[in-house]
């Protein structure tokens, strides 16, 4: 029995038991992390469902001209001796894309939010004016299959392609060469699998077609109202493309192949400008390639493989990503709390049972479960404060009872509260999270080493020494 008691009271044995307990407590942390992943996946499913039932992210391509034409040529007919016996006329229907020389985009994004169950998904309404001009159309510049063939240009159409045409709010208003033109569904003359197939078109009037065949550039003005989910991408198709977009959304993410040349982001929204030349983008070549089956059809989530400049309305705090980051510090957090309790047990000559340590560790693990549950109903900051406050209050009462002193319990609870505050600082400062985490661990280890630098651990962990001190009047 004495040997069993010695093993039970041994500091080394208890330290090993605490390490084993810390490993066991990783199991509920892993389960909570899996729950966070599941809830995050449910949020993405909700976003996809809204994209199917309402509208998805938008990619805007255009405006541009689709010029259909018929190429005609003659082929000599010869007999078996190679003598020409006649002439056969052949023709082929073809089309060519004509892009704007200048494309100016001015618009504003009005943010909206839609719900699917408890999940909130950001949407926007784009109100934009697109203006610019096309160069005159020269039939002799159209690609030919046979030299010397004749070209008959048919009625060109102005095309505007979208990744999700359900987002159009009303018909776009188009004026070309001062004439109002009406839009119709689809884009004729192009393959069904091309990026342009998902869009609308407006046939040019006779006057507009004559102006396009003249010697002066043809100006256009297009007003469009477009709804989309979270992200907007625009293809720069002009020889010179300039864009100016504003929004009251204070948390944008700029992406795509081209970042904004000038941008200002404040608490009241953002203001961004782009200036892109055709010399720096392959959007035109990629669009032409899609007409020959080398591109993929636009999917509801957007268009892959096309040079664009993008804006995304990002949620300021994603509760699932924040909670997942918090759980990754769970093992360190539990270890620091158990270490503090163990130090109090050693220096105050107490005898705590491993079950009590397990309950303390579980209470910390439950904090992360409370955090994800509350953050789905409240803001992350408020949810964090509520979960941390409940955890600190519980530990204060428990420590006061098992340590036999309200002062000790309050001190350990204050220590835990300090750790919760440090953890929130790590989560709030994403760019400095690694540095702050490393400094926190180093600071805790340094404090422990300095506080125990004169301690005789063999004497402190000795069962005989403990008994002698407990028997002495001191």
- pLDDT digits over 283-327, tens only? 998 888 877 655 444 433 345 678 899 998 887 767 777 777 788
The percent of residues above 70 in pLDDT, for the chain, comes to 86
SS3 state at 312: strand
- Residue 1's pLDDT band (cuts 50, 70, 90): very low
Q: Which two tokens stand for residue 370?
A: 């409370």
The dihedrals phi and psi of 194, each to the nearest 5 degrees, come to -80, 160
- Which among 20, 59, 26 has a CA at the least distance from the CA of 167? 59
Q: Is the separation of the CB atoms in 132 and 100 below 8 Å?
A: yes
Q: Which residues fall within 8 angstroms of residue 348, CB to CB, at 6 or more apart?
A: 403, 408
Q: Is the separation of the CB atoms in 221 and 131 below 8 Å?
A: yes
Q: Is the separation of the CB atoms in 298 and 59 below 8 Å?
A: yes
Q: Is the separation of the CB atoms in 383 and 46 below 8 Å?
A: no
Looking at 280-430, which runs of residues are DSSP E strands?
309-313
Of the two residues 203 and 439, the one the predictor is more confident about is 203
Beta bridge partners of 126: 109, 226
Asked if pLDDT for residue 467 goes beyond 60, the answer is no
Asked if pLDDT for residue 253 goes beyond 80, the answer is yes
> Whole-prediction pTM value?
0.72
Give the model confidence (pLDDT) of 99-148 as tens digits.
999 999 999 999 988 877 667 788 899 999 999 999 888 887 777 877 87
First vs last Cα of the chain: how many Å apart?
Answer: 28
- Residue 237's pLDDT band (cuts 50, 70, 90): very high
Q: Which two tokens stand for residue 42?
A: 């449910």
Instruction: State the Cα–Cα distance between residues 415 and 392, nearest whole angstrom.
Output: 9
Mean pLDDT value of segment 426-453: 71
Asked if pLDDT for residue 247 goes beyond 90, the answer is yes
Mean pLDDT value of segment 398-426: 83
The percent of residues above 90 in pLDDT, for the chain, comes to 15
Q: What is the pLDDT of residue 298?
A: 40
Strands 102-116 and 240-247: parallel
Q: What is the pLDDT of residue 438?
A: 74
Instruction: State the Cα–Cα distance between residues 260 and 255, nearest whole angstrom.
Output: 9
Least confident segment among 103-112, 257-266, 374-383: 374-383
Least confident segment among 210-219, 264-273, 447-456: 447-456
Domain boundaries, the chain: 2-43+319-471, 57-75+84-313
For residue 63, whether the previous peptide bond is cis, meaning omega lies within 30 degrees of 0, is: yes
Mean pLDDT value of segment 53-69: 87
Give the model confidence (pLDDT) of 156-179 as tens digits.
899 999 888 888 888 899 998 888
Instruction: State the Cα–Cα distance between residues 107 and 269, nearest whole angstrom.
Output: 14
Instruction: Please report which residue ranges of 1-88 form alpha helices under DSSP H.
Output: 2-9, 11-53
Q: What is the pLDDT of residue 235?
A: 92
Asked if pLDDT for residue 241 goes beyond 90, the answer is yes
Asked if pLDDT for residue 4 goes beyond 80, the answer is no
- Which among 176, 173, 194, 198 has a CA at the least distance from the CA of 185? 198
Most confident of 42-46, 240-244, 448-452: 240-244
For 364-388, the DSSP string reads HHHHHHHHHHHHTTS-HHHHHHHHH
Q: Is the separation of the CB atoms in 241 and 315 below 8 Å?
A: no
Asked if pLDDT for residue 400 goes beyond 60, the answer is yes
């Amino acid at each position: 029995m004495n040997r069993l008691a010695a093993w039970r009271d041994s500091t080394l044995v208890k330290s090993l038991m605490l390490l084993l307990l810390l490993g066991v407590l990783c199991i509920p942390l892993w389960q909570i992390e899996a729950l966070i992943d599941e809830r995050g996946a449910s949020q993405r499913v909700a976003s996809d469902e809204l994209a199917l039932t309402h509208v998805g992210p938008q990619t805007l391509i255009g405006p541009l001209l689709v010029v259909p034409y018929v190429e005609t040529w003659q082929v000599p007919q010869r007999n078996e001796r190679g003598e020409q016996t006649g002439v056969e006329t052949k023709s082929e229907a073809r089309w060519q894309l004509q892009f704007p020389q200048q494309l100016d985009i001015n618009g504003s994004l009005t943010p909206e939010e839609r719900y699917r169950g408890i999940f909130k998904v950001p949407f926007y309404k784009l109100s934009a004016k697109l203006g610019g001009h096309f160069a005159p159309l020269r039939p002799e510049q159209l690609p030919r299959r046979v030299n010397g063939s004749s070209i008959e240009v048919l009625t060109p159409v102005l095309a505007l392609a979208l990744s999700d045409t359900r987002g159009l709010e009303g018909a776009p208003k188009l004026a070309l060469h001062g004439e109002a033109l009406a839009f119709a569904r689809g884009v004729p003359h192009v393959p069904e699998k091309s990026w342009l197939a998902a869009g609308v078109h407006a046939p040019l009037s006779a006057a507009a077609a004559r102006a396009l065949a003249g010697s002066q550039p043809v100006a256009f003005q297009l007003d469009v109202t477009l709804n989309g989910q979270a992200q907007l991408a625009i293809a720069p198709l002009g020889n010179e493309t300039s864009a100016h977009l504003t929004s009251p959304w204070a948390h944008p993410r700029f992406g795509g192949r081209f970042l904004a040349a000038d941008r200002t982001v404040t608490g009241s929204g953002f203001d961004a400008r782009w200036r892109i030349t055709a010399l720096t983008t392959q959007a035109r070549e990629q669009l032409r390639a899609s007409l020959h089956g080398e591109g993929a059809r636009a999917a509801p989530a957007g268009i892959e493989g096309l040079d664009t400049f993008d804006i995304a309305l990002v949620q300021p705090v994603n509760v699932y990503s924040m909670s997942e980051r918090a759980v990754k510090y769970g093992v360190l957090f539990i270890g620091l709390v158990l270490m503090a309790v163990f130090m109090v047990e050693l220096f105050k000559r107490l005898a705590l049972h491993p079950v009590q340590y397990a309950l303390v560790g579980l209470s910390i693990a439950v904090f992360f479960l409370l955090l994800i549950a509350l953050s789905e109903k409240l803001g992350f900051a408020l949810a964090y404060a509520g979960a941390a406050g409940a955890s600190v209050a519980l530990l204060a009462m428990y420590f006061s009872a098992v340590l036999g002193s309200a002062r000790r319990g309050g001190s350990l609870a204050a220590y835990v509260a300090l750790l919760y505050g440090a953890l929130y600082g790590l989560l709030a400062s994403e760019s400095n999270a690694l540095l702050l985490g490393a400094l926190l661990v180093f600071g805790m280890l340094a404090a422990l080493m300095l506080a125990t630098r004169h301690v005789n651990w063999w004497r402190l962990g000795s069962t005989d020494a403990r008994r002698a001190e407990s028997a002495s009047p001191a």
